[in-house]
Structure 1
Amino acid sequence: MNDVISFDSATFRRVLGHYPTGVCVVTAVEAEGAPVGMVVGSFTSVSLDPPLVAFFPAKTSQSWPRLAAVGKFCVNVLASDQQALCRQLSGRGEDKFAGVSHRVSANGSPILDNVVAWIDCTLDAVHEAGDHYIVLGKVIALEVDRPESPLLFFQGNYGEFSLLA
């Protein structure tokens, strides 16, 4: 079957931008001890048994190959007041972690200070999916650090969640 696509990539992005996503930072520590990380808006739970999560880095990502080489990572769920941290860690450059306070998980990955929650993982599998990868992580530890409103991305902007009364 040959599917005909009747839209361009700008339309695809515009329409899917109407679905809000949480903002996370995936972190690891490279062999020489340097922290590495990437901001993702495409994170999801996958399975309870075994406990699996997933995120979807672009094949053009410069950070993903560095994270993949480590074989373990921590997903840090950013809080709504961490937009500046998000912008710093989403930039390009060697020292994105300058001044970023964190502790190290039992698995050896950075847990950023004041995040809503963190999920520590080992790399389980990587699958190609168009111009991205599907990365599966097996969860080995997780915790809520600060039960605050998460940072959300919606229609090209950052925002926060509020409960309806």
Structure 2
Amino acid sequence: MGLRTDLPGSGEPRGDAVRASPGGLDPVRLRAAFGAFPSGVVAVAARVDDRVVGLAASSFTSVSLDPPLVSFSIATASRTWPALRRADHLGVTVLADHHDLVARQLAGPADARFDGLDVTFGDGGAVTLADGIAWFDTTIDRHVEAGDHTIVLLRLHAVAHAEGSRPLVFHRSGFGLGR
């Protein structure tokens, strides 16, 4: 296997790729490049001060089996993160392929994010959606500021999953593949 030299940064740019200028990368092009990578979508939620708070995240990933860790990232400008950060436990639900409207609702106004959704409350305050395809009861292990986002590392305390379901996929700023 040889080293490719036709990639941006290793010779002449391919397609519509451009090199970074001294002022940085064009955010529109960067967002489009990030969007080329499909990702699953999760709901992250908890009961805080007797109300359900949460959000949709497409940055969820497994990190470690021992100790069991996962992560997601959230914009530092988020008004939801300060409340979630105070929760004893966070629930993470992997959304199913029929949850596109749920994902949009969870990305909408904070006071209506869980209206009409069937949720389950865990003992430690973790909140999960009843018809997801996987569920995690977590606590915050640590969080790291990273540019305009915060990377949140979560320690797993309980997990469950449904067989035979397909995940919701976020790709090129929309749901589903083939965009």
TM-score (norm 2): 0.82
The residue aligned with 1:47 is 64
Give 1:12's match in structure 2, choosing from 4, 27, 30. 30
Give 1:21's match in structure 2, choosing from 24, 35, 39. 39
For 1:87, what is the secondary structure of its paired residue?
helix
Matches within 5 A, 1:97-136: 97-136=114-153
Q: Give the total of aligned pairs.
A: 158
Conservation of the 8 A alpha-carbon contact between 2:44 and 2:56: yes
Matches within 5 A, 1:53-68: 53-68=70-85
1:154 is matched by which residue type in structure 2?
Answer: H
For 2:98, what is the secondary structure of its paired residue?
coil
1:129 deviates by 0.3
1:102 is matched by which residue type in structure 2?
Answer: V
1:113 deviates by 1.3
For 2:103, what is the secondary structure of its paired residue?
helix
1:97 deviates by 1.2
What is the distance in 2 between the residues matched to 1:107 and 1:22? 25
For 1:57, what is the secondary structure of its paired residue?
strand
Identical amino acids, percent of aligned pairs: 37
2:34 is matched by which residue type in structure 1?
Answer: L
Structure 2 residues not aligned, in runs of 5+:
1-20
1:6 deviates by 5.2
The residue aligned with 2:104 is 87
Deviations 1:4-44 (A, max 9, x none): 4653111111111110010111010002x111111000011
1:138 deviates by 0.4
What is the distance in 2 between the residues matched to 1:133 and 1:71? 18
TM-score (norm 1): 0.89
Q: Give every structure 1 segment of 4 or more consecutive aligned residues whose post-TM-superposition deviation is greater than 6 Å.
A: none
**Cα RMSD over matched residues?**
1.8
1:121 deviates by 0.3
